[in-house]
């Protein structure tokens, strides 16, 4: 089992640039989650999908953030334009039954916006 795969592991970009983070969930899992982790705020949920359908995006900080899940094996989180305050570690997680099933996390993408 390869686990949840995220790419890239590190991303350094300049303010105003577009950033795309990628995630491949565990095969067979039907729920996918994007979290952001900072020292100040800890792990915060941004958006989650069930069966490729976005269920709740109320955690997305601004319209600059968007997420898609075109199929069961791939999701993207896009930030356009990026700002320095977006610097954080972004985690993707998947589970086979939301809410009461453990989440399986990828190793994250560390984003630095200068």
Partner 1 sequence: EDQVTQSPEALRLQEGESSSLNCSYTVSGLRGLFWYRQDPGKGPEFLFTLYSAGEEKEKERLKATLTKKESFLHITAPKPEDSATYLCAVPLSGNTPLVFGKGTRLSVIA
Which of 13, 20, 45, 64 is the binder for partner 1 (CB under 8 A)? 45
Q: Which is nearer to partner 1, 32 or 79 (CB)?
A: 32
Only one of the segments 15-23, 60-68, 73-81, 95-103 lies at the binding site for partner 1 (rule: CB under 8 A); that segment is: 95-103
* Residue of 79, 86, 91, 111 interacting with partner 1 (CB under 8 A): 91
Q: Which of 76, 78, 87, 103 binds partner 1 (CB under 8 A)?
A: 103
Is 113 within 8 Å of 14 (Cβ atoms)? Answer: yes
Distance CA 66, CA 60 (A): 8
* Rounded distance between C-alpha atoms, residue 93 and residue 45, angstroms: 10
Backbone angles phi, psi at 107, to 5 degrees: -90, 5
């Amino acid at each position: 089992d390869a686990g949840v795969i995220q790419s890239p592991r590190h991303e350094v970009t300049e303010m105003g640039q577009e950033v795309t983070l990628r995630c491949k969930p565990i095969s067979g899992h039907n729920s996918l989650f994007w979290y952001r982790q900072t020292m100040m705020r800890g792990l915060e949920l941004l958006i989650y999908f069930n069966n490729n359908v976005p269920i709740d995006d109320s955690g997305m900080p601004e319209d600059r953030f968007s997420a898609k899940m075109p199929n069961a094996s791939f999701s993207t989180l896009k930030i356009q334009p990026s700002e320095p305050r977006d610097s954080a570690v972004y985690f993707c997680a998947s589970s086979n039954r939301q809410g009461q099933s453990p989440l399986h996390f990828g190793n994250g993408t560390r984003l630095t916006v200068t």
